[in-house]
Amino acid sequence: MTEDAYSAAQQLLYRYGAIADAKDIPAALELFRRATVTFPQRTVAGDDQLTELYSELWGKPNNHRHIITNVRLVESELGYSAVALYTRWEFTPAPLLTTMGEYEMSFSRDGHTWGIDSLIVTRTWPVS
């Protein structure tokens, strides 16, 4: 079970990175359909709040790429959580490192499907 959970954690985090890089709000709504999402400035849940948050975050015309590494799994009585490091590069058009931080994700299985229950995004180093 732990190997399945570790693989699920990686896939959920990497999927989030791909959705963010594509700036795909409908896919983000589906990924977070049962989750709360916390950024340094606020915590949101539900389609309206998630749409508002990601419209602001992904509103710039520049493309960006997330690199997600060091995924670690934590098992608890309530399920699983995972912690990972990330960097976000923006193309301006040259690559520019804009943020470094951590993701802390709680997730669980509903039947045969893994889903995110909460995501906390920490920005250890944001560009001002």
Domain boundaries, the chain: 2-126
| pLDDT for residue 97 | 95
Maximum Cα interatomic distance, the chain, rounded to a whole number of Å: 46
Query: In percent, how much of the chain has pLDDT > 90?
Result: 82
Tokens of 44: 């949101």
Could you tell me which CATH number the domain at 2-126 has? 3.10.450.50
Mean pLDDT rounded to a whole number for the chain: 93
Banded pLDDT at 56 (limits 50, 70, 90): very high
Please report, for residues 10, 64, 68, 79, the alpha-carbon distance to residue 2 in angstroms, rounded to integers and kept in the order given: 12, 32, 20, 11
- Residue range 46-50: average pLDDT? 97
Whole-angstrom distance, CA of residue 33 vs CA of residue 94: 35
| pLDDT for residue 1 | 54
- Residue range 107-127: average pLDDT? 91
